[in-house]
Amino acid sequence: MTDDILQVAGKVALITGGGAGIGRATADLFAEAGIRLAIAENDPTRLADLRAAMPDALIVDADVRDRDDVARLIQEVEDRFGRLDILVNNVGDYLKITSFFADSTEEEWEALYGVNLLHMFRVTKAALPLMKKTGPGGAIINLSTVEAFRGIPRATVYAAFKSAITGFTQSLAVELGADGIRVNAIAPETTDTAQITADSKVPLANRPHIGTWFPMGRFGRGEDSAGAALYLASERLSGWVTGTSMVVDGGVLAAGAWMRMQGKDTFTHLPIIAADGYTDIE
Ligand SMILES: NC(=O)c1ccc[n+]([C@@H]2O[C@H](COP(=O)([O-])OP(=O)(O)OC[C@H]3O[C@@H](n4cnc5c(N)ncnc54)[C@H](O)[C@@H]3O)[C@@H](O)[C@H]2O)c1
């Protein structure tokens, strides 16, 4: 087998929010695969870090919620590379809003819309002429969440916009099939990133339970979603995959509420308070 099994080397990818977390892990993996990078980021420290770490990449200071920034971003990609093969719409945030829907405000809805969905419309629409000009073999990859496929209390509006990404992904895939551009989504479960510092926050007493919460026994890492993104970016590997959402969750969605009893080969889908004749707890 050759080194170029993915056949992505030399292609151009634009990653939004590539300065941290899943976006940064995707940028690092794409660079390793020989993909030329454009990265949009709006955090000054992360911009400086990217510029130092990736001198060959196009690093653009842009807020992808802003129409003018997005137009300038795509123009800079065209000026530098003259093409765009892969777009990773990675920016997204629950904005630490954890209110019940009944207590949520219109200002919160607007903010969640801007950072989770509106930018995806703006960046994708602005990028499409260049992607179509580049020709068949393109890929659009939208970062969704496992919460698009199950209920998440106190994050109802966030989940609603993430669910909308499923519809956007499916319908756009149908529209762009004839252009040879595939559109897919990645739906991660809790992943250690700048936004979600999950693993280190688990108190000592609860640490043994990590292996019971996730069938695969750990929180996600940026690299997990980056691997899915590279697969979806590779026409060679995923050339007939479009309109789908790839759940990257360590098996959590498949498990539903089922969890392994700590250190045992038995499982429960009930909160265990005392022996119930079904689980093996005294
Ligand atoms: N981390 C998780 O547990 C998790 C779970 C499910 C889904 N996701 C989704 O994965 C994606 C990435 O999440 P993450 O946890 O890696 O995020 P993160 O906050 O760690 O990183 C996001 C990056 O985007 C940048 N950014 C934010 N707003 C921007 C804007 N308006 N313009 C340009 N850049 C902007 C940030 O500065 C940061 O560098 C998001 O869409 C998120 O909703 C994350």
Fold assignment, 12-257: Rossmann fold (3.40.50)
The pTM for the full model equals 0.96
pLDDT, tens digit, for every residue of 107-146?
999 999 999 999 999 999 999 999 999 999 999 999 999 9
- Residue ranges of alpha helices (H) inside 190-268 are 210-213, 222-233, 235-238, 252-255
CB 224 within 8 A of CB 199: no
- Gyration radius of the chain's alpha carbons: 20
Residue to probe by mutation, ligand 1, list 14, 195, 252, most atoms within 8 Å of CB: 195
Domain boundaries, the chain: 12-257
pLDDT, tens digit, for every residue of 252-267?
999 998 988 888 888 8
As a residue count, the chain comes to: 282
Neighbours of 174 (CB within 10 A): 11
Give the DSSP letter of residue 14: E
Q: How many Å separate Cα 126 from the centre of its chain? A: 20
CB 7 within 8 A of CB 234: yes
Atom of ligand 1 nearest to the CA of 17: 24
Residue to probe by mutation, ligand 1, list 16, 22, 122, 218, most atoms within 8 Å of CB: 22
**Residue-level pLDDT, tens digit, the chain, 282 residues:** 456 899 999 999 999 999 999 999 999 999 999 999 999 999 999 999 999 999 999 999 999 999 999 999 999 999 999 999 999 999 999 999 999 999 999 999 999 999 999 999 999 999 999 999 999 999 999 999 999 999 999 999 999 999 999 999 999 999 999 999 999 999 999 999 999 998 888 888 888 888 888 999 999 999 999 999 999 999 999 999 999 999 999 999 999 989 888 888 888 888 766 666 666 766
Q: Based on the residue annotation, tell me whether 158 is a catalytic residue of this protein.
A: yes
Residues with CB under 6 A from ligand 1: 16-17, 19-23, 40-43, 46, 63-65, 90-93, 115, 143, 145, 188, 190-191, 193-196
Neighbours of 128 (CB within 10 A): 20
